[in-house]
Structure 1
Amino acid sequence: MIEDRCRVPQSGWGIVVLLLLGLLAGCFDDPPAPDAGGSGTSGQNGQAADPPFRVTAELVSENNRGAGLMEQYEYSKAMAVFQKLVDDNPGWLDAKVNLAIAVLQHTQKGASAVPILEEVVAADPDHAEATYCLGISLFHAARIGQAEVQFQRAVKQDPRDPHSAYFLARCLEDDHSAEAIEWYQKALQLEPYFQSAHYRCWDLLRQEKKYEESGRHMEEFSLLRNHPLSVIFDYKYTLMGAKGLAIRAGLSPGEVQPVKRPEGPLFEPPAEIASAGSVRMPAGASLTTCDINGDGYQDLFLVAADGNHVLLGSDPTRGLDGFSMDKDHPLAAVPDVVAPLWGDFDNDGLVDVYLCRRGPNQLWRQSKAGEWSDVTAKAKAAGDDAETIDGVCLDLDHDADLDLLLIHRDKPAQLLNNNRDGTFEDISAKVGVDRSGAISASTVVADFDGDRDLDILLLGPPGKADEAKPVGNVLLWNDRSWRYHAEKTPGQLAGAPFTAAVAGDVDADGQVELYAVDSASLVRWTRKPDGKWDKMLLGFGATTGAIGEGTVRIALADVTGDGRVELLVGTSGWSAWVLPADLEKFDLLDLADSGEHDPLGTWTTVVIDHARGPAVVGATVDGPPMVWAAGSGRHRFFSIALSGKKKGRYRERSNASGLGNTVLVRAGGRTFRGDSLPADSGAGQSLQPVAMGSAGAERADFLKIIWSEGVTQARLNLAAGVRHVIEEEDKMPTSCPVLFAWDGTGYRFVSDLLAVGGMGYLVEPGTYAPSDPTENFLLPAGLARPVDGRFRLKLTEPMPELTYLDRVGLVAWDVPPGWQMVLDERLATALPDPTGRPITYRIAQDPERVTNERGEDVTSRVRSVDHRAAEVGRLDGRFLGRLAGEHVLVMEFSEPLDRGPGRPVLLADGWVEFPYSQTAFSAWQAKAAFEPPTLEARDANGNWVELAASFGYPGGMPRQMALPLPTDRLPQGTTALRLRTNLEIYWDRLTVIRSEDCPELARREMKLVVADLRESGFMVRQLKEQFRPHFDYTTRAAHPEIIDPEGFYTRFGAVEELVGTADDAVAIFGPGEEIHVEFEAPESGPPKGWTRRLVLETVGWCKDMDLYTGNGSTVGPLPETGRPVEPRDRLHRRFNTRYQRGW
C-alpha cells in the first residue's frame, strides 16, 4: 500500500457537475471570466483531518495509465480515466489535480479547471502542484489578481521552481514592473536557459529605457533560440513546467526508473553463412543490405573477388540458414561494381539500385516485382567515366525524389539531380559540389545546422596539398533551390585529415555531431550556437583516441536496445563503444568486439531480427561472409520501416524510400531520437528500417516522424519487438485559414480565406508570388444566423500555417426584388486585379451545352452549385494540383454574348487543389508548367479568340469567382466560350451574368463587438467527392506532432484593437488556434421582398510551413503595406508577446 498525504474533501461531486456543465455547454464562446471573485470551497481548512487516503497498486496503475494518455495527447481519454478515479475515490487529491490538467488541455479554458483546483487547495493548502496549476489556470482565464495570490504562495512552497517565479513576474508586470524584473531574474537564476524569461526581461527593461541591460537579455534570448536545452512556457502539455505534468502516483514528478539490461551477450559468436561459404571477400569490399525482393526481410549484396552475390534473407528464427544465394539474379551479372546505392529512384514503391562502378555507372530499375532492367542510358545517369568509389542517394533538394552525390577516385565529386521525368542532370558545377576541380575522397550528408534541410560535408583526401587541386574539407550549407554556400568559419574542420566520418545526434538533443577518424585518433566535432566547431578527442579506455592500423570503418547504431546509438569502430576487427551523453566528457566504454579472428576486410550492421536490432555482417580478408547475430543481452527494439509513397491524395511529398527522415520515440519516460540517413562510413549505401531500442519498455507511448519535406506525423502505442511499416499519412500539409459561421444550430464550415494573401509562395528559385492581402467573401445566402443579436464567425487554423489578420469586417448588402448580387473576386494570376466590389444583375445566361476535351457532355455537372463538378481528367501523379493534360470546357450559348443588357461576366463556382512551394520547385526542375485558366471566345469563322489569358481561378476551397468579360475583345455574335487549363480546378457551376448598376443597393457595415484569439484545437478535415475539402467544427483531431513556426504570436484574449482597422498591426495566430468574432446584427431585417447578403471583408496574409516557402519556419518578417510603422509597432509590443519556439 502507498500512503498519500492528502485529506478527504467533502464536495467531490461538485467537480463532476462543474466539469459536465462545462463540457456540455461547449464553452468555446463563453466570455472571459471577470478579474474578481471565484467559486472557492469553504469550510475545509477548519475541519478535523480525515484519515489518510490509501492508494492501492491498482489505483497507481490506472492513474499512470491516464498520465500516459496525457503524454500521447489523448486528453479526452485521460479526462475519462481521471474522472473515474475521482468519482470512485473523492479523497484522492492528486487524481483531481490530474483531472484539472487534462481539462485545461482538452478545453484550453483555464476557467474550466479552476473549480477543481480550488477544491484541492481548500482541502490541502500545501499541495504545491495544485497551487501552481490553479495559478496558471486563473492567469489563462484573465483573472490576474487571483493568479498572483496563488503564485505568491507557490514561490514559498517551492522556492526552487523557476516557472512559479516566472508567473509571479507575469502577474506583477502591469503595476509593479521593477518587482516583476526581479522575479524574472530569479527565474533565470533557477533556470539559466529560460528563454521566455529573457524575453520578458528584455521587453520590460526596454520600456524603462535601460537599453544596455535589455540588450544583454535579447542577446541571451537569441543565443538560446536553437539551443537544445532552452526552456519556454506554453499552455501545451509538457511545456507548462514540471508542476504542470500529470502526477504519477508512487513516483516523483518526472522520475525515470533505471531499467536493467537483460542477461546475456550483446552479440553471438561469429558464424559463417552456409549458402555463401565459397564466396571470398577482398579487403575493402562493399557489403550492403536491402530488402531486394520486398518480402520484409533484409537481404545482402556482396561485391566479392569473383563478382556480385545476392543473398536473400528470410525468417530470422531459421538463423543463418535463412539466407539463400540467388545466383541468377540480374544484378549478380553486372561487372566492375564497386558499391551499390539502394533506393526507389522513380517512387513506384519498388526498390531500385545505382551501381557505382569502375567506368560508367549503371542505374537498374525494378519495373515490376523481380523484373530488373538497366535504364542508365535513358535516365542519363552514368556519371563521369571514372572509378566511382562511393556515393549517397538522398533527397538533397527535398522535392520527393532521390538525387545522387557521387565520389570518384582522384576526381571531383559529382551531383546528379533527379528531374522526376525519368532522367538525371549533372549540376555539380552549378551548386559547387565539384569544388572548382578539387578532389573529394568521401562525403557526409546531414542537417548540421538544424534548419530541416540536408547539408553536404565533402572530405578531401588526406595527404599534402596540391596547389592545382587543393585538398581539405568543405561544408556546403543548403540554401535550398539548389543553392549552397560554403562554411565561412570552418576553423580546424577545414584542414582535418579525415579517413572516415559519420554524423548523428547521439545525445538526442536535436544537434547533429560529427564523429571522425583524424590522424589515427577518434574525434567528436560539435557545432556551437555561435557557428564555431568544437573538437574533442575521444578516449578508448586509458588511451586517448588511438585507432589501430588498417582500413578504418566507423558506424553509429544502437546495439544495446537502450535507445541511444553506440559507436562501432573497425580496422582489423570491430568493437562497439558507449558514447558519453555529456558533451563535456570524452571517455568511451567498451561494450563488445568481434573476438579473435583473422583481419576483417569488410563489415556493416544489418537488422536481421527486428526484435533484437542490428547484427554485424562481415568477412575476413579473402574469407567468406559471417554474422555476429544480435545477442540475448539487449532490450527489444522498435523497427521502423518508413515510406513516403502514399496511396491517397497528397502523394509524393517525401521520397518513397523513406530516406532522410527523423524519428522521435517516447517510451518509458524517455525520449529517443533516430533518423534514416546513412550512418556508416563504408562504401555503398544500405536501405533498412530504423532500429531504435525500447530501453525495456513494452510499447512506445508516442512516435513522431519529421518527413524529409518537413511534414510531421504521429503514431501512438507501438509495440516493441516488431517491424512497423509506416507510410507518410495522406493529409494536406497546409491550408489557408478556414472560416466557420454560426447557422443557428452550430458552426458550419464555409470555405477558406486569404489564399490571395499567401506569403513566400515559390514560383521558381528566387521568385515568389506577390501577395494581395485584401479579400471579400460573399457568404452563402441564409447561412449565417444571428444569436442574441450578433453574427458569430470563426477564422481558424486547423493545419500547420500562420495567419496575420489585419482587419475583419462584416457588411450587409440589401438587394431589391428581382436583383442578385455577386462579388468581383478571384485569385488573379494576371491583370486586371479584381476590385472586390459588388456586381449586381437581373439576367443570367446559362450555357445550353458544355463539353470537355474528351467530347463528353458535362452540362449537368456545371448547371448548379451541387458539389458535383466537371471531371478534370487524369492527374499528373508527380505534381500535386497539376493535370496530366489540358482540361478544356466549351460552353455553348443560345444567344450571342455581346447582346443584351449590361456587361457580360463569367460567373464560376468551384474549388482548386493548390500545389505547394515544394511542388512548384519540383515541377520547375522537370520543366512542367502550371498553366492557369485562359478564356477564349469563338468568332463567326469558328476561330478561338483569346479574351483573358491566365486570368485566375476560384482561390481555394469551394467558393465563387467572377470575371468581367472584355467587351472590346468579344467577337461579334459569339455564342461560345472556352476554358483551358492544366490546373486541378473543379468547376461546379459555370454561367454568364449581365452586370448592371443597381441604384437601390444598400450597404450597412456592422459593428465589431468581439474579437477573441483562442486555442481551439484541430478540426477534423474530411475529403469529399472530387477531393472537395470539408471541416467539422464539432470534432477535433490530436496533432501533437505539429510544430509552430518560431517567433512571437499574439497573446490569447481580446484583439479588437488589432483587427478592427487596416493599419498593418496584425493579430498573429498559428496551428490549432482561431479568432472568434462577433458583429452586432441590424435591429431590423431587409424590406419585404428584398434579399440581405452578408460579405466578410478581410485584410490579412497567411504563410505555410512548406520547406520551400520563403521564411516558412519563422513568424517574421512581418508583412506590411507602407502604413506608418510607429502605431503598428506600439500595438505589436502590447499584443504580440507569446513566443513559440518552432522547430
Structure 2
Amino acid sequence: MRNSFSQQEPNGSGFVGSLVRMSISRRARDDASMPDRSSVQRLAAFTAIFLALLLSTLTAACRRAEKLPDQSSQEYRDAVRAFYVGLAALQAGVEVRAGEEMTRVTQLAPGEPSAWANLGLLAIKQRELDAAAERLEKARDLAPENSRIILMQATLESSRGNLAEATSLLRRAVELDPGNLIAIYSLAQEVEREGGDANEAEAQRLMGKILEVQPDNLVALLEVTRLAAKRGDSAALQNALSQVAALAAAWPPEAKDQFTALQTAAAGTDTRAAGARVAFLRNVLVRIPKYRADLAAVKLPTGELGEPFTGFLKMASPSPLPAPPDDGLAFTEEPLGNWQWAGGVSLDGERAPTIITASGREVRAGGAMLSFPGGPTATPPTTDGVLALDFNYDFKTDLALAGAGGFKLYRQEGGGSFTDATSKLPAAVTGGAYRGAWAADIEMDGDLDIALAVINGPPLVLRNNGDGTFIELRPFEGVTGLYGFVWGDLDGDGDPDAALLSADGKLKVFANERGGAFRARSLPDDFPALAAIASTDINGDSILDLVAVQTDNTIIRVSDDGEGSGWVTATLVGNQVLSAPVSEARGRLIIADLDNNGANDLIWATPLATTVLLGDGQGKFIPRDAIPARAITAADLNNDGRLDLIGVAKSEQAVRLVNRGTKDYHWQTVRPRAATSTGDQRINTFGIGGEMEIRSGLLFQKQPITGPVVHFGLGEKTEADVLRINWPNGVVQAEFDLQSDQTVVTDQRLKGSCPSLFAFDGREMRFVKDCAPWSPAIGLRINAAQTAAISQTEEWQKIRGDQLVPRDGYYDLRITAELWETFYIDHYALMVVDHPEGTDIFVDERTSNPGPRLALYTVAAPRPVKAAWDDNRQDVTEIVRALDGRYLDTFGRGQYQGVTRDHYVEIELGDNAPTSGPLYLLAHGWMHPTDASINIALSQGSHPPPESVSIEVPDADGKWVVARPALGFPAGKNKTMVFDLEGIFRPGAPRRLRLRTSMEIYWDALEWAAGRADAEVKTARLNPQTAELRYRGFSVFNQADKSSPEIPDYDRLATTSQRWRDLIGYYTRYGDIRELLEKVDDRIVIVNAGDEMALRFPGQPPPPAGFVRDYVLIGDGWIKDGDFNSVFSKTVLPLPTHDRTEYTSLPARLEDDPAYRRHPRDWQEYHTRYVTPDRFQKTLTLRKQAWE
C-alpha cells in the first residue's frame, strides 16, 4: 500500500505523507471488524487533526506557489529584468526568447499573474492551445477579477470553437470592467452571431455602452447604425446617422458618397438595406486614420489574439520615467590650440573619436594635415563645413570639406592617412562657394551622397556612383542659401525625408517619394522663421520630430500629423529661457543625452555661448549656466560613457569641454554596421538614415542614426532590454543581451523573393521550392530610368513524385508569404503527369525575356556530365555530379548582393551523349537575387550590368564563341533551367560548353538528357478542391552554408508578429478563396506577408502499370516587393491586370483603379482586410488601452 501510494502522489513523503499513510493503514486494519464507539471517537479526533495539518500544509504550499520576491531583493530585480526582456521579445516577434524570459519570471515570482498571462498569450500565438489554457487559468487563479485575463481566455475558447464558453467569459470580463471596450465589442459580436431579435438588441445595447465611454467612436456608431437597420429600429438608426454625419465633414469624397447612399437607404421603407450599406461605408473609412484609431480601441487587429501585459499586477512596476536630470552637470574646458573649428570624429567607428580641428586654410585630422577650401580670404569653416562620412564603403571615415573657396573630398587610407579624391569631381562643383555639407543616401541605393549648401543658390546633391565618381542632382526646389539640413523619417513611412532650412529662416520639408524623388510638403502660412533645426523622437511616439529654434529663441517641436497630411507644433522651451540672442551667424542645435538620465537634452550653441537644457522626460527642459564657447559636436572622447562637447571659444581657441556629471547614471553605446563590404551593400556602412530604438523596463527611446556611434542614456536602468534597429533599406532587427558598448551588424538576409511552396510528402509538410509568382514583378527597377515590363504571368514549377503524396484523398499544398512582398494571385492549378518508367519530365524554371516555353520536357533518364571545370581550371565534377545540396561556389562575391565577377563552368558531356536528335542540358541550382535598390546602384558609374546565363561553345579552331546569349537565370531556389542543345555544337569542334554569367548562381547538379518526345505522357489538370487564405506567421529559415539557399522550415515558426513594413491597402479577407482562383480572369487573391494559402487538390488514381508520376504547379499572378526603389512599393495599388505590361502611374484612390472598376464587388466581399504598418512602426512603444 505504501509503495502504491507514493507512486501516485510524489509529494506523499514527509509528515503529511506519513499521516496519510497512517490513516490508510488504520482504515485497512479497522475494516476487519466493526469499530466500537471509542474507536470512532478516536478516529474522528485523529481525522480532525489530520485535516487541520493538511489544510495548513496546503495553505503553505499555495503561499509558496503565490510567492512574490521582496522589492529590495535580487530576485525582484531579476524578475523585472526577465519580464521586460520577455515583453520586448514578444512585441518584437522574437517568440522563443519571449517564452524563455517569461518562464523565468514565473519561477522567480510565481505569484505574479501578468507573466502567466503573457505566457498564455504566447502559447495562443504559437497554437499551443492546451498550454495556453493552463497558463491563463493559472493567471486567473492569481487574479480572479482581472478582466483582461478573462478576455484572453475568451479569445482562446473562441479559437477552439467553444463559442458558448467564450460568450460566458466575455460576459464576466465586461461585468468586471465595463471599460474593457475590446471585451464589450467581442461580446456584441458573439451575441449577434447566436441570432434572434433579442440577441441583436443586446448587441446593439452593448455597442451603445462603448459610446458611453467613447461617444465619437466611429466604429461603434456604425455598428449601432447597422444593428438598428437590421432590426428595423428607425429611431435608433436616425439618431446614429445624425451622430455619424457630425463626423463626416472631413471625409474623402468616396466615403461621403457611400454615406449618402447609406442615408438614402435608411430613409426607405426597408431599413435592412441600410445595414448592407454600412459594410460598404466601413470598407472605405478604414483608409482614414481616425477610423483605424477607433477600431484599435475596440478590436484586436486581424491576426492578433491579445495584447500583452506591460506591467505587473501584484509586484511593483518600475517607473516609465527617466531618472532625474543631473543638476550638478558641469564641463571642464581644455584648450586645443588656435583653430576656428573643432569636432569629434570616429575615424573607424570603433575607437574613441579623434578631435579634428580646422581653420580657413587647413584641417588637422589625427596626424594628417589637409587643405581647407577657405578661398583667398581664408574664410573659416562654418559649423557644417567639415563632414565626416564613408563614401567608398571601406568602413573608414572620409572627410568632405565645404568652404567659401570650393569643395574637397579626402579618402582615408590605412594608418589614418588621407588621399585627395577631389579630382574625380566635376570642376564646376569643386570651384563653387559653400556653407556646409551633409551626408544622406538620397536614392537609398546603399551608399552615401553629399548635400551641399551653395551660398546664395539652390542646394546641390552629389550623387555617389559607388566607384569614386559623383554626378550633380538638384532634387530640392524652392530653397536658396541652405543653412540647415535634416535627414530622417519624419512621417513614419519607413523612408528618410529631408528638412531644409534656408538662409532667410524658412523651413521646407520634402517627403521622400522613393526612387530619388521628393515632394515638397506644405506648412502653415504663418509658420515662424527659424534659426536652426535638428531631429529626434522628442515626444516618445516612435516617429521622429523636428526640433527647431525660432529666431525669437523659442524652441518648438514640429511633428507629422496623420501620415503626412499635416503638422502639429508645440513649444518645448519659451523664448525667455535662452538669454543669448540669435545673431546673424545663427546657431547650432544639438540633441543628446549629456547627463545619461534617459531623456534628450537640448544644446543651443551660438558664437557667443552654449546653453545646455537638461530634459526630464516629461516635457520640461532645465537650463544650466551658459558655457562661454560654441559647441559644434558632442562625442564621448574618453570612453567614460559621458558625452563631451567640442567646439570653439570666443577667442577662436578650439576647446574640449569634458563632461563632469555628478550622477553615476548608466549608458548604452551602439555601433551600427553593414554586414560586409562585398556581396551585399544594401545599406551604407554605418546605417546613416536609419533609426534605433531601445527599451529598458518601461523607458522607451528612439534616435536617428547620423553617424558610426549612437549613444543612449539609461539613467538608473543598468542595461537596455532590447535594441531595435530600422536599417535604411527597411529591414528591422532586434538585439538582446547588449554590452554597454555594442557593435551591431545588420542581418544579411533576403527581404524579397517570391512565395514558398510546401507539399505533404507522406510524413510532413516540406519545402519544395520558390513558386509563382516569381518573374512578373510589378515596379521592379532595372536601372534609374527603366522598370521591368511584364511579358508573362504564367509560371510552371515541377514537384517530384516523392515530394507530394496524397493524404485522405487529396494533394495538400501550402504556399506562404515569408518576405517583404505582396502577391496578386489569379490562378493556381496542379498538373498530374504520368510518364513511362525510365523517363523523366521537367519544366523550364527560369526567368528570362521572353519568358520560358510553358511545356513539359520528356526525356530519358538524366545522366551526369562527364567532367566540369570552373574558370580557374579547378575540377568541379564531383560538386555538380548529383543533386546533393553541394553547390558550385568558386567565383567569390562582388560589390553588391546578387552580382559577382564574370565567370563560367565548363562542361564535357561525355561520349555517351547522343550526337543527333533532341538533347538537353539540365542545370539545377538557385540564384541569390539583386533587388531594385541594387539595380539602381549598379546602373550608376562604371559598374558593368549583370549578365544572365549564356552558353558558349568552341569552334573548330578552339575559340570560344557565344552560342546562346541572354538565357536568363534560375527563378529562385531549387530550380531547373532546361537548355536545348540540339544543333549547338560546331562541326569538328569538341562537344564541350560553358555556362557563363556574372550573377550569383549556384549550381547543384549539371546533367544531360536525351529527348523522348515519342514517350506517352498522361496529364490531368486539376483546380483546387478547397482553397483557404489564413494567417500563419513566418517560418524559421535554415542555411547550411554561405553557398546554400535559405530554406524555410514549415514546422517551426520564427514569429507570428508583423515582421515587415507591409504595403498599405486592401488585402483579401481570410477564408475561402477558391472562387478567385478558378480561372485566369483578373479576379485576384491579394496576399500579405505572413499569410498562407492552403490548397487541396483532388487525389487521383495511381498511375498505370509501367508509369511513374510527377506533378507541375501552374501559377498565374504578380508580385510586388517593399524595396524602397521598387515603383509604388508603399502601397498595394496599382492593381495588376493581364492587359497591362507596365505600371507607370498610381491611381489617386482605389475606385479609380481599372482592376477595381472591373470587379468592384470583390472589394465588398473579398478584399476587405485593410493593412497598414501602424503597429509595426510602434512595436516597442507601450500601447495604452482604453481600460488602462
Give the alignment's TM-score, normalised by structure 1. Answer: 0.80
Distance 1:747 1:914 in 2: 26
Q: Which amino acid letter does the alignment assign opposite residue 921 of structure 1?
A: I
The corresponding residue for 1:723 is: 741
The corresponding residue for 2:800 is: 780
Distance 1:1124 1:477 in 2: 28
The corresponding residue for 2:518 is: 484
CA gap of 1:382–1:189, structure 2 versus 1, over 3 A, is farther
Distance 2:566 2:1025 in 1: 52
The corresponding residue for 1:1021 is: 1038
1:179-198 map, 5 Å? 187=210, 190=213
Distance 1:644 1:491 in 2: 39
**Does the alignment pair 1:280 with 2:313?**
no
**Does the alignment pair 1:1106 with 2:1172?**
no
The corresponding residue for 1:268 is: 330
- Contact conserved, 2:325 with 2:595, CA < 8 A, in 1? no
The corresponding residue for 1:656 is: 685
- Contact conserved, 1:1066 with 1:1132, CA < 8 A, in 2? no
**Does the alignment pair 1:250 with 2:314?**
yes
Q: Which amino acid letter does the alignment assign opposite residue 363 of structure 2?
A: N
> What is the CA-CA distance between 1:630 and the residue it aligns to?
4.5
The correspondence for 1:147, drawn from 145, 157, 166, is 166
What are the Cα deviations for residues 947-982 of structure 1, in whole angstroms up to 9, with x where unaligned? 543232221112212244686x88678745443322
1:984-999 map, 5 Å? 984-998=1000-1014
CA gap of 1:82–1:280, structure 2 versus 1, over 3 A, is closer
The corresponding residue for 1:377 is: 423
Q: Which amino acid letter does the alignment assign opposite residue 548 of structure 2?
A: A
CA gap of 1:510–1:601, structure 2 versus 1, over 3 A, is closer
- Contact conserved, 2:799 with 2:1112, CA < 8 A, in 1? yes
The correspondence for 1:573, drawn from 602, 609, 632, is 609
What are the Cα deviations for residues 642-686 of structure 1, in whole angstroms up to 9, with x where unaligned? 122536x85321111331110111111122111123xxxxxxxxx
Distance 1:971 1:232 in 2: 74
Distance 2:313 2:809 in 1: 50
The corresponding residue for 1:329 is: 368
The corresponding residue for 1:614 is: 643
Distance 2:283 2:462 in 1: 46
Q: SS at the partner of 2:736?
A: strand
> What is the CA-CA distance between 1:448 and the residue it aligns to?
2.9
Distance 2:1076 2:136 in 1: 34
CA gap of 1:1079–1:890, structure 2 versus 1, over 3 A, is same
Deviates more, 1:1034-1043 or 1:385-394: 1034-1043
The corresponding residue for 2:46 is: none
> What is the CA-CA distance between 1:574 and the residue it aligns to?
2.0
The corresponding residue for 1:1032 is: 1049
Q: Which amino acid letter does the alignment assign opposite residue 555 of structure 1?
A: I
**Does the alignment pair 1:669 with 2:698?**
yes
The corresponding residue for 1:29 is: none
What are the Cα deviations for residues 1050-1075 of structure 1, in whole angstroms up to 9, with x where unaligned? 45555555556555454444444433
- Contact conserved, 2:1029 with 2:1073, CA < 8 A, in 1? yes
CA gap of 1:72–1:1106, structure 2 versus 1, over 3 A, is same
Q: Which amino acid letter does the alignment assign opposite residue 416 of structure 2?
A: G
**Does the alignment pair 1:340 with 2:356?**
no
The corresponding residue for 1:559 is: 594
1:685-700 map, 5 Å? 687=707, 689-700=709-720
- Contact conserved, 2:822 with 2:1088, CA < 8 A, in 1? yes
CA gap of 1:734–1:108, structure 2 versus 1, over 3 A, is farther
Q: SS at the partner of 1:717?
A: coil
CA gap of 1:1003–1:976, structure 2 versus 1, over 3 A, is same
Q: Which amino acid letter does the alignment assign opposite residue 907 of structure 1?
A: L
Structure with max Cα Rg: 2
What are the Cα deviations for residues 214-251 of structure 1, in whole angstroms up to 9, with x where unaligned? 758945751349989976955799x6665x42662425
What are the Cα deviations for residues 380-417 of structure 1, in whole angstroms up to 9, with x where unaligned? 58824133221101212211111011113233322111
- Contact conserved, 1:361 with 1:383, CA < 8 A, in 2? yes
Q: SS at the partner of 2:1030?
A: strand
Q: SS at the partner of 2:594?
A: coil
Q: Which amino acid letter does the alignment assign opposite residue 668 of structure 2?
A: F
The corresponding residue for 1:386 is: 432
Q: Which amino acid letter does the alignment assign opposite residue 612 of structure 2?
A: A
Deviates more, 1:657-666 or 1:560-569: 560-569
The corresponding residue for 1:23 is: none
Unaligned runs of at least 5 residues, structure 2: 1-7, 12-54, 228-258, 263-272, 1140-1153, 1178-1188
The corresponding residue for 1:865 is: 883
- Contact conserved, 1:613 with 1:691, CA < 8 A, in 2? no
Percent of aligned pairs with the same residue?
22
The corresponding residue for 2:661 is: 631
Q: SS at the partner of 2:409?
A: strand
Q: SS at the partner of 2:599?
A: coil
Q: SS at the partner of 1:492?
A: coil
> What is the CA-CA distance between 1:792 and the residue it aligns to?
3.6
CA gap of 1:352–1:508, structure 2 versus 1, over 3 A, is same
1:750-789 map, 5 Å? 750-754=768-772, 755-765=774-784, 767-771=786-790, 772-789=792-809
RMSD (CA atoms): 4.3
Distance 2:334 2:109 in 1: 61
- Contact conserved, 1:195 with 1:221, CA < 8 A, in 2? no
Distance 1:192 1:924 in 2: 56
Distance 1:304 1:1125 in 2: 63
Q: SS at the partner of 1:479?
A: strand
Q: Which amino acid letter does the alignment assign opposite residue 715 of structure 1?
A: E
**Does the alignment pair 1:714 with 2:720?**
no
The corresponding residue for 2:1093 is: 1075
Q: SS at the partner of 1:764?
A: coil
> What is the CA-CA distance between 1:593 and the residue it aligns to?
3.0
Distance 1:620 1:406 in 2: 26
Distance 1:358 1:89 in 2: 65
CA gap of 1:414–1:1058, structure 2 versus 1, over 3 A, is same
Distance 1:856 1:828 in 2: 29
> What is the CA-CA distance between 1:804 and the residue it aligns to?
4.0
The corresponding residue for 1:298 is: 353
**Does the alignment pair 1:166 with 2:185?**
yes
> What is the CA-CA distance between 1:88 and the residue it aligns to?
11
> What is the CA-CA distance between 1:116 and the residue it aligns to?
5.1
What are the Cα deviations for residues 430-481 of structure 1, in whole angstroms up to 9, with x where unaligned? x35586xx44344333333333223333333229xxxxxxxx5543333232
Distance 1:509 1:863 in 2: 57
Q: Which amino acid letter does the alignment assign opposite residue 68 of structure 2?
A: T
How many residues align? The count is 1033
Q: Which amino acid letter does the alignment assign opposite residue 67 of structure 2?
A: V
Distance 1:1090 1:114 in 2: 50
**Does the alignment pair 1:417 with 2:459?**
no
What are the Cα deviations for residues 538-590 of structure 1, in whole angstroms up to 9, with x where unaligned? 543756999455742222222343433222223322223356978xxxx8532
Q: SS at the partner of 1:300?
A: strand
Deviates more, 1:449-458 or 1:383-392: 449-458
**Does the alignment pair 1:502 with 2:534?**
yes
CA gap of 1:140–1:1055, structure 2 versus 1, over 3 A, is farther
CA gap of 1:874–1:718, structure 2 versus 1, over 3 A, is closer
> What is the CA-CA distance between 1:491 and the residue it aligns to?
3.3
Q: Which amino acid letter does the alignment assign opposite residue 223 of structure 1?
A: P
> What is the CA-CA distance between 1:68 and the residue it aligns to?
3.7
1:422-433 map, 5 Å? 422-428=468-474, 431-432=475-476
Distance 1:95 1:340 in 2: 51
- Contact conserved, 1:819 with 1:842, CA < 8 A, in 2? yes
